[in-house]
């Protein structure tokens, strides 16, 4: 993985909320390597520019995703099933 993917992978496992660490970490493990560079940049921006509670609520379906975050990676996140 290149530097960007390594940075995003780390961030996914260290979000600030244990629940997000588990969810985003598992998502990154399954999807990050196959994502395009542009999608990885967008994903990093999503993680860095939004607070953990909003991210959690959006992905868990507790709050609607803002229209400006309508993106293929967000759709992947919303459809991601974390199974242990």
Which residue ranges form the domains of the chain, and what is each CATH number? 3-79 (1.10.150.250)
pLDDT bucket at 83, cuts 50 / 70 / 90? low
pLDDT bucket at 15, cuts 50 / 70 / 90? very high
Give the tokens for residue 62: 């507790």
pLDDT score of 51 more than 70: yes
For residue 32, the model assigns a pLDDT of 96
Give the tokens for residue 71: 């993106």
d(CA 5, CA 32): 7
Buried-exposed string 56-69: b where 16+ CB fall within 10 A, e elsewhere: bebbeeeeebeeeb
- Tell me what the mean pLDDT of segment 19-36 comes to: 95
pLDDT score of 58 more than 70: yes
d(CA 26, CA 77): 11
């Amino acid at each position: 993985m290149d530097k960007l993917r390594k940075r995003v992978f780390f961030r996914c496992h260290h979000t600030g909320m244990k629940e997000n660490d588990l969810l985003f970490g598992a998502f990154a493990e399954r999807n990050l390597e196959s994502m395009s560079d542009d999608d990885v940049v967008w994903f990093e921006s999503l993680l860095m520019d939004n607070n953990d509670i909003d991210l959690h609520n959006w992905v868990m379906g507790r709050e609607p995703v803002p229209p400006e975050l309508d993106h293929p990676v967000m759709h992947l996140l919303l459809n991601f099933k974390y199974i242990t």
